[in-house]
Amino acid sequence: MRILFVEPPKKPWFVMGEYLPPPLGLLCLAAYVEANLPGVEIQVMDCQAEQAGWEEVEHRIREYGPDIIAPSTVSTCNANIVLRVASLAKKVDEDIVTIAGGQHFSVLAQTVLETYPQLDFIVRGEGEQTLFELVRVIDTSRSFQGIDGISFRKKGQVIHTPNRSMIQNLDSLPFPGYHFVREHMEKYRFPAGKDLPYALVEGSRGCAHACSFCGQWRYWGRCRRKSPERVADEFEYLYREFGSRFLWLVDDFIQLDEWMARLCDELIDRGITEELMWFFQTRADEIISGKELLPKLRKTGLKWIMTGLESHNEEVLVQYHKGIDVAMGKNAIDLLRENDILSQTTAIIGHRQESYESIEMFREWIDEVDPDIAVFMTMTPFPGTPLYEEALKNGWMADPRWSQFDMVHAIMPTEHLTREQVQKELYATYRNFYGWRRRIGGTLSINEVKRAYYRHMMWKGFLGTLKGLKRL
Ligand code: B12
Ligand code: SF4
């Protein structure tokens, strides 16, 4: 039995410049199958790292001859690419079993399986145990009904087995299978940071909040955490075994609490903080309540934090169920600056009541908050979010192409602006924020990471992309 996991050819998300992250989700799945079904042969094809296009994908399928093909989705905007991998597999050999997973396919399992015959199975929700059982059954009995968490077709009908319960002890999972991409580990880079060998670590799954535009809390449930010791083990493994020096802790809900203090102690005790740089995203309220921990985090190499501030308008924050207020945003950014931690914010334009006036106020606000880096996104109704349900009910989705759901393309109009106007305002907001003063200030900043980021973004990509944005 052979499985080919494929990270398909994708366009990078331009906002971060050129970067190459490892396909963590696939590596978690591959490691779990390997640990539980040692007889199964596994390959992970990372098209980004291999600089492989669609011809190479087809070639690899022919050459390797997998029984199962499992592509990675990451986000809704990649859904069509996943289906293309499945089509290629079927073109090469009808008998190859094609499996998709992740949030997008989990939520839309019924429609997808009704519409796309090239896809045989959808693994809904947390993937490890379900995929392992599915692989075992494909190899043996082919009686799928008893596997929780899958959707498939049987005699023309789409069958959904009951949801699978989540893995309670995340420490029981094997380490992500970085060895499957060993030959690429040198290539995984995030040049907009400090161009250090780069890897991802997952410390928890789920979130205790319930933002209306986000599906993570529904998909993963409330937060389950690995132990700090286990997370430090993964940091150390990547640091020593693969030379990774820039680590992204990808969790959705990072808390600056006792757990985090223990993780810092573990990293210090293991003597790996001297050369380490790491990054996470967390909420403004966490930065404020955990401010005592910031110096310690900085000491361990935590040099960059991203926080979603979303809006300048209190009412909109309430509408989003964000659970923070406007003042907290500025407070959090100031705290990061005081601690010499690069501050990156995300903020959204295009909420239902958005108008030219409100966007003008938004721009003034973000200038005043003055994060080191700001990422602006269009309000995007991802399947699985309360916003998606509302948008569907009210017919707001003016652009239904999944490929456009990348938070850069405007999907919905507002009560006062057309979709095209929202789009133009996004570009204008970028140009406004990254005016020449901020760009020059960034390249000369005393913060080393900020300097590196601006130098990279300004000369390698971002300026060009901003010009390109006018044409999009
Ligand atoms: C790392 C990451 C990235 C990396 C991806 C690196 C890579 N190649 O994998 C980068 C930086 C490239 C990225 C980009 C984007 N991302 Co991103 N990203 C994440 C992040 C932080 C972690 C993903 C991860 O590795 N999780 C851990 C693994 C274990 O979970 P997983 O991937 O979901 O996989 C598990 C299950 O879902 C399932 N599964 C998933 N896929 C499959 C496939 C098969 C075959 C099977 C059987 C099972 C299965 O099994 C896995 C194990 O349980 C998530 C947030 C999060 N914490 O999950 C956002 C997230 C996935 N990104 C998101 C978005 C929107 C994007 C962008 C569009 C823009 C943006 N704002 O970042 C771009 C898309 C660019 C592109 N062209 O792909 C959204 C997706 C929402 C949606 N429904 O579309 C998320 C959920 C963030 C959020 N809170 O909204 N991202
Ligand atoms: S946006 Fe962040 S805080 Fe809000 S529900 Fe999603 S993961 Fe949690």
| Residue span of the structural domain in which 32 resides | 2-158
Residue 54 belongs to domain with CATH number: 3.40.50.280
Among the three residues 143, 158, 173, which one is the final residue of a domain in this structure? Answer: 158
- Same domain (yes/no): 215, 143: no
pLDDT digits (tens, 9 = 90+) for 74-114: 999 999 999 999 999 999 999 999 999 999 999 999 999 99
| Nearest CA owner, ligand 2 atom 3 | 209
Q: Ligand 2 in contact with 214 (CB < 6 A)?
A: yes
> How far lies 409's CA from each of 216, 286, 401, in Å?
21, 30, 10
271 CA to middle of ligand 1, Å? 31
Domain count, the chain: 2
Question: Rounded to an integer, what distance in angstroms lies between the CA atom of residue 316 and that of residue 198?
Answer: 36
Q: Do 289 and 388 sit in the same domain of this protein?
A: yes
Q: DSSP per residue over 212-251, as a string?
A: TT--HHHHH-S-EE--HHHHHHHHHHHHHHH---EEEE--
Contacts with 452 (C-beta within 8 Å, 6 or more apart), sequence order: 192, 193, 194, 195
Distance CA 105, CA 306 (A): 27
What are the tens digits of pLDDT across the range 163-175?
A: 999 999 999 999 9
Helices (H), 77-209: 79-92, 103-107, 109-115, 128-139
Could you tell me the distance, in angstroms and rounded to a whole number, from the CA of residue 58 to the centre of ligand 2? 38
pLDDT value, residue 472: 43
Averaged pLDDT, 117-145? 95
Ligand nearest to the CA of 385: 1
Say how far apart CA 427 and CA 119 lie, in whole Å: 37
Q: Write down the pLDDT at residue 471.
A: 43
Kindly state whether residues 197 and 240 are assigned to the same domain. Answer: yes
Q: Is 210 in the pocket of ligand 2 (CB under 6 A)?
A: yes
Phi, psi of 183 (to 5 degrees): -70, -15
CA-nearest residue for atom 4, ligand 2, is 211
Q: Can you give the pLDDT at residue 139? A: 87
Tell me the per-residue pLDDT of 205-228, one tens digit each, with 9 for 90 and over. 999 999 999 999 999 999 999 999
Q: Per-residue pLDDT averaged across 364-372, rounded?
A: 97
Task: Please work out whether the CB of residue 29 comes within 6 Å of at least one atom of ligand 1.
Answer: yes
Based on the domain organization, do 204 and 143 belong to the same domain? no
Structural domain contains residue 231: yes
Is residue 283 within 6 Å of ligand 2 at its C-beta? yes
- Statement to judge: residues 130 and 221 lie in one domain: no
Which one of the ligands is nearest to 221 CA? 2
Residues 233 and 128 in one domain: no
Residue 178 lies in a domain: no
281 CA to centre of ligand 1 in angstroms: 14
The C-alpha atoms of residue 255 and residue 260 are separated, in whole angstroms, by: 7
| Residue 266 included in any domain | yes
Distance in Å, CA 141 to ligand 1 centroid = 32
- On whether both 79 and 142 belong to a single domain, the answer is yes
274 belongs to a structural domain: yes
Q: Are residues 118 and 47 in the same domain?
A: yes
Q: Which stretches within 339-418 are classed as H helix?
A: 356-369, 386-394
Q: Is 127 in the pocket of ligand 1 (CB under 6 A)?
A: yes
Q: How far is the CA of 86 from the centre of ligand 2 (A)?
A: 31
220 and 357, same domain (yes or no): yes
**Could you give the 3-state DSSP secondary structure of residue 3?**
strand
On whether the pTM is more than 0.75, the answer is yes
146 and 272 assigned to the same domain: no
Cα(74) to centroid(ligand 1), Å: 3
Which residue out of 18, 75, 173, 344 has the highest number of ligand 1 atoms within 8 Å of its CB and is therefore the one to mutate?
A: 75
Per-residue pLDDT tens digits for 401-441: 999 999 999 999 999 999 999 999 999 999 999 988 998 99
Distance 125 CA to ligand 1 centre (A): 12
CATH number, domain of 211, equals 3.80.30.20
Q: Which tokens in the block code for residue 342? A: 């690069």
Residue nearest atom 32 of ligand 1, based on CA coordinates = 25
Residue to probe by mutation, ligand 2, list 220, 252, 256, most atoms within 8 Å of CB: 252
**Both tokens of residue 433?**
């924020």
Beta strands of 323-461 (E only): which ranges?
A: 342-349, 373-378
Instruction: Give the Å distance between the CA of 320 and the centre of ligand 2.
Output: 10
Mean pLDDT of the chain: 94
Q: Which residue has the higher pLDDT, 149 or 462?
A: 149
Mean pLDDT of 17-35: 93
* Residue 267 domain flag: yes
Q: For residue 305, is it within any domain?
A: yes
Residue nearest to atom 46 of ligand 1 (CA): 101
User: C-alpha distances in angstroms, 110 versus 70, 105, 116, 132, 156?
Assistant: 19, 9, 10, 22, 12
Look-up of token digits 């996470």: 280
